[in-house]
Amino acid sequence: MEEPQNGGTNLSTIPEEEEQAIGPGPAPRARPKRPLQFEQAYLDSLPSANMYEKSYMHRDVVTHVAVSSADFFITGSVDGHLKFWKKKAVGIEFAKHFRSHLGPIEGLAVSFSSLFDCMRDVIIPFSVSFLLVKSSTMTCSVMQVSADGLLCCTISSDRSVKVYDVVNYDMMVMIRLPYVPGAVEWVYKQGDVKANLAVSDRNSSFVRIYDARAGSNEPIISKEIHLGPLKVMRYNPVFDSVISADEKGIIEYWNPATLQFPENEVNFRLKSDTNLFEIAKCKTTVSAIEVSPDGKQFSITSPDRRIRVFWFRTGKLRRVYDESLEVAQDLQRSDAPMYRLEAIDFGRRMAVEKEIEKTETAPLPNAVFDESSNFLIYATLLGIKMVNLHTNKVARILGKVESNDRFLRIALYQGDRSSKKVRKIPSTAANVNESKEPLTDPTLLCCAFKKHRIYLFSRREPEEPEDATKGRDVFNEKPPADELLAVSDIGKSVTTSLPDNVILHTTMGDIHMRLYPEECPKTVENFTTHCRNGYYDNLIFHRVIKGFMIQTGDPLGDGTGGQSIWGREFEDEFHKSLRHDRPFTLSMANAGPNTNGSQFFITTVATPWLDNKHTVFGRVVKGMDVVQAIEKVKTDKTDKPYQDVKILNVTVPKS
């Protein structure tokens, strides 16, 4: 469904002998798909880490995230609180906190310069303001942005609008509406005197335009655009047009100055010549609309779990990405490792998806474009996908290993990380290679289903701090009661009497391992007690997979036996500072959540997909060559070595 190009086959140019041919001809040769030029350069300007680098807390569930081109991140939660975060050269820092309303915020929109303008060599600094609205019954559901980066708006069922200056942290204007708004969008270009704001009526088909800078409660112009109430709209500043959708999925284009069809900006006159009826034909609605920075495309997300990409000027469909649960199940059954999950993990994620469908207050997912307009980014059951629109292939998946977080709403930052606003572009490839630090710090800001946190994906994996209390999940607010209880339980169970190292003597050499009794006291107690009692003596490594791990600890030698020192299965002990992020990690084998017994394994590569599924309780500090030697032994079809490799005994220091 590529955008139609001029030209075609002219019958008069076909050779005469081809015209006289009788019978079916061979299938036409498929044109080879050209790769996207400079694809790697575009990917280098996008987040790439498998795990989120940092997360920060709100006091309640986060429903809104937005990025301002003035280097501010703004986030809102269901308790009516707003937080402002300043973008630094690396990461963000807290700026200010407002208790904007006593009830939940229904809609939040933060202004930022369009990425089309941000790609210029000279970036003009400016102050940023935003609008926000209060609600007493509903959670946040709308987020829209103006094109010049100066203003931001929100709507609410309480019919009030507040305008804040983000840089000066001051409320500028309050606007009261005589009706309940349904959707809102900034509809002016950068440099316009008036900051026009389009607001729809939730109970009628009227759209009204206001001058937000004037602060007047009277609209400049109003008109009925749709046959029914307008639900979503998005301004395309490149073509000075608005794309809107009503509650039945009917899509319209209109000019914000005249509220008429923009004939001079599009290449069609009748919607029957386009695919704009696609949403209505599928009997679904529009959840969110996002416009590409170059204005040539826009994306639509819908409750049917399909992401549709349209060409703006022709109204034709370019791509349709099906992220339905049926497709997810088919991918799970496929042999593609990029899309597969462990069966237990997949089942749990499917349950979360069904819960999201029943939760009306969940943030509405969106699909955003990168600054080059070549990549589409959206959150799915599997993680956050980055799709190359040119080749129609998934280029990258972020957060696949974050099995406890279902990301929904996202906002992309690709601004200049330096204090200078004039970028210097290297003249040669050699200069690019000489630069050790990137000019930008691309960051993806996300909120997740029923989570009190905002999550930041960058090009850096999370660091493992020496102090476990200073991990990637920052406790900048008082944790909820359940988190406090979990922390207190861990604190009570910590004991300093447990050994923190052991030596595994095998038939191929010694393996020295450091243990983590403070982080995983029950697991370490079980393991070291078995070691002292000789439980592991003469047991074989019954499962060895090259490029993955070596496993032992089963008295039966086939992976089906073994029990804990308590004679029953015991619970997992996951710790944020202990992950499968490197080879030679010591971890517990299990048959599912909280089914630990006596079996354990040592990884030979980083295995982040095992995080929060298997308890990491140690690391190999000496004898890595022994682990690698065991890894290389020949095995049968069940991954069992032909020649037994045994644990002779285990040395445990006296505690």
Beta-strand (E) ranges in 370-452?
375-379, 384-388, 393-398, 407-413, 443-448
Contact indicator for 372, 42 with CB cutoff of 8 Å: yes
**Could you write out the DSSP letters of every residue in 268-280?**
-S-GGGSSTTHHH
Which of 548, 563, 574, 575 is the catalytic position? 548
- For this structure, is 601 an active site residue? yes
DSSP letter (8 states) at residue 539: -
Strands 393-398 and 407-413: unpaired
Angle between helices 325-333 and 343-358 (to 10 degrees): 180
Task: Please give the Cα distance from 362 to 539 (Å, whole number).
Answer: 50
Q: Take residue 460 and report the two structure tokens written for it.
A: 């850096």
Q: Take residue 390 and report the two structure tokens written for it.
A: 């040119």
- For this structure, is 586 an active site residue? no
- For this structure, is 313 an active site residue? no
Among candidate residues 126, 125, 124, 120, the one with its CA nearest the CA of residue 425 = 120
- For this structure, is 234 an active site residue? no
Task: Please give the Cα distance from 520 to 214 (Å, whole number).
Answer: 60
Q: Take residue 96 and report the two structure tokens written for it.
A: 């200010």
- For this structure, is 159 an active site residue? no
Cα→Cα distances 416→41, 69, 320, Å: 16, 9, 32
- For this structure, is 575 an active site residue? no
Which of 50, 551, 596, 599 is the catalytic position? 551
Cα three-residue angle 295-297-301, rounded to 5 degrees: 125
Which of 64, 396, 542, 614 is the catalytic position? 614
Among candidate residues 126, 43, 65, the one with its CA nearest the CA of residue 395 = 43
- What 3-state DSSP class applies to 439? coil
Task: Please give the Cα distance from 85 to 369 (Å, whole number).
Answer: 22
Q: Take residue 491 and report the two structure tokens written for it.
A: 């604190």
Q: Take residue 97 and report the two structure tokens written for it.
A: 């906190």
Cα→Cα distances 28→32, 256, 275, Å: 12, 46, 27
- For this structure, is 614 an active site residue? yes
Which of 236, 374, 590, 612 is the catalytic position? 590
Contact indicator for 375, 367 with CB cutoff of 8 Å: no
Which of 50, 601, 617, 619 is the catalytic position? 601
Task: Please give the Cα distance from 542 to 559 (Å, whole number).
Answer: 7
Task: Please give the Cα distance from 145 to 186 (Å, whole number).
Answer: 6
| Residue 328 φ then ψ, to 5° | -60, -40
Which of 50, 610, 617, 619 is the catalytic position? 610
Among candidate residues 57, 56, 73, 54, the one with its CA nearest the CA of residue 65 = 73
3-state per-residue secondary structure call for 173-210: EEEECCCCEEEEEECCCCCCCCCEEEEEECCCCEEEEE
3-state per-residue secondary structure call for 543-608: EEECCCEEEECCCCCCCCCCCCCCCCCECCCCECCECCCCCCEEEECCCCCCCECCCEEEECCCCH
Task: Please give the Cα distance from 161 to 153 (Å, whole number).
Answer: 8
Give the DSSP H/E element, type plus range, for residue 510: strand 509-515
Alpha helices in 429-566 (DSSP H): 429-434, 481-493, 521-532
**Catalytic amino acids?**
543, 548, 551, 590, 601, 610, 614
